Structure 1
């Protein structure tokens, strides 16, 4: 789908979870000196203005990265409890916030990859790709005007043979959930040791219809959960799942949270994610819900 524009949602709670998970995975890969491969299959523009009309429409960053940053800055006691990963993430974000911008996943990765690592960002939307190409010019990430899934399976197994893939489709169409399952099924056959990170939305079961104002069923409400079940059945050694919910599901809230499903997670990623969720729970949750979690869907 080529109509989705992430600029409406840049820096929201879902971006915070996604990018903190990305930081955690890449930092684990950085522990070893050996180079690695990285691919972002749905890269977007790379950098987003938080002063654009799209970003200001719902000001989603205010209850996401802005609130997280302010909460930790306002309380020294809170900051002392936050993990090194949160501070690393915020240090990356701060470089862009000076210009009232937010970095997308390609720029977050660009801040962490090293000389010798091979990193690619795929984007099919023509306008988004032009922005991505410009934003990646002085980074170690190579922008590719190509379908991310086509690129994924064309490059597998990669050289070097260790690394990670971020898969973050917009899920505008119900078929995209099945696309993720199908493409990952092929990918793990070609590269069974790769780390695969899949972002997904958590959607309320009902919603208010914009035209009639009536409460109706949300046809996509259970598709993420069904996708997770399929991903857990793939032929990989382990599958770790993290979910952050900043609100409780209701007809007034379309996406009440989001998750990251990690196939072949690096060692000790579970404890990293638990520390992240603890901080996000304290900083961003509106209604005191306890729906956020870190869980194994499959273990060795």
Structure 2
């Protein structure tokens, strides 16, 4: 699990979706002057170099944040404009900011904010990049940190859960962690990122098409999360292509437990913007590739 390096994927379409969603939620939660709690359970290194050997290997940022920036310089969407303002300075320096850096722009000095990562090098980098931020950096298991903070003080806020899902068992780990945290903090807002994986894939060793053992696990996890005793659960998805053996992750999503009031309206605008950038062939109907759906709503 500690072998995962997000630098290979920093700034890709999944990061764009995740960070626009994160900003949308934080902007809602910080409308009130009251302090809030914030935790990033899998914070990563904080900042990623796009032109080093890791980032340049697949250059996913070219089809992600750089494509987004180039096509939306004149966007009127407030969340999009803020995202462009935050990321543009980094991308000019061939860098991409991770979730804790994005969050730092929107959090206040009065907020109780934390970022955790277990990987030794990532944690060391995280502490360096957050030394003057509003977040406290921790080298610890994110799920252990989540359990330790529950119930948090203050009793309003959010948690971002963004694991690498390298192992199939991580989907069950997420469900277990959220179940426990929600029982201790019923009004907490939880954001869970997840990948959408093609049913088949090209085997790296044999080069033959084989079943993807992790395909469908995200969908199973979301269904189980939607059945938890939460007041409401909102699910959004962005698919940048059709499932294919040549494309392992064809999209991603964010499951939001106890979303802030009217968040779906903001996210609908964001998703519409994302679709114009990532939908591909404009002559085809791609409306199904971007979705904002309620799994559960308050009675």
TM over 0.5: yes
Match of 2:276 among 269, 274, 282: 282
Q: Which moved more, 1:204-213 or 1:227-236?
A: 204-213
**What per-residue deviation string (whole Å, max 9, x for no partner) do you get for residues 150-200 of structure 1?**
011111111111000000000000000000011111000100100000000
- Consecutive unaligned residues in structure 1, runs of 5 or more: none
Q: Distance in 1 between matches of 2:52 and 2:224?
A: 38
Instruction: Write the distance in 1 (CA, Å) between the matches of 2:45 and 2:60.
Output: 18
**Uncovered stretches (5+) of structure 2, i.e. residues with no partner:** none
User: Cα deviations across residues 240-279 of structure 1 (Å, max 9, x unaligned)?
Assistant: 0000011111111100000000000000110111101100
2 CA distance for matches of 1:286 and 1:172?
Answer: 28
SS in 2 for 1:201: strand
Q: TM-score, normalised by structure 1?
A: 0.96
* Counterpart in the other structure of 2:30: 30
Deviation at 1:98, TM superposition (A): 2.6
2:108 counterpart SS class: coil
Determine the structure 1 residue equivalent to 2:46: 46
List per-residue Cα deviations over 1:118-149 (Å, max 9, x = no partner). Answer: 11000100011000000000111110011111
Report deviation, 1:96. 1.3
Distance in 2 of aligned mates of 1:226 and 1:72: 34
Q: How do 1:197-216 residues align onto structure 2 when only pairs under 5 Å count?
A: 197-216=191-210
Q: How many residues align?
A: 294
Give me the CA root mean square deviation: 0.9
Name the counterpart of 2:79.
85
Q: Distance in 1 between matches of 2:139 and 2:246?
A: 37
SS of 2:255 mapped into structure 1? strand
Return the offset for 1:97.
1.7
> Which residue does the alignment assign to 1:294?
292
- Cα deviation, residue 214, structure 1: 1.5
The offset of 1:95, in angstroms, is 2.5
1:187 paired to 2:178: no
In 1, distance between residues paired with 2:85 and 2:189?
25
Deviation at 1:215, TM superposition (A): 1.2
Query: Does structure 1 retain, via aligned residues, the 8 Å contact 2:47–2:101?
Result: yes
CA distance in 2, matches of 1:59, 1:286: 18
Contact 2:40/2:159, CA 8 A, preserved across alignment: yes
SS at match of 1:43: coil
1:244 — aligned with what?
238
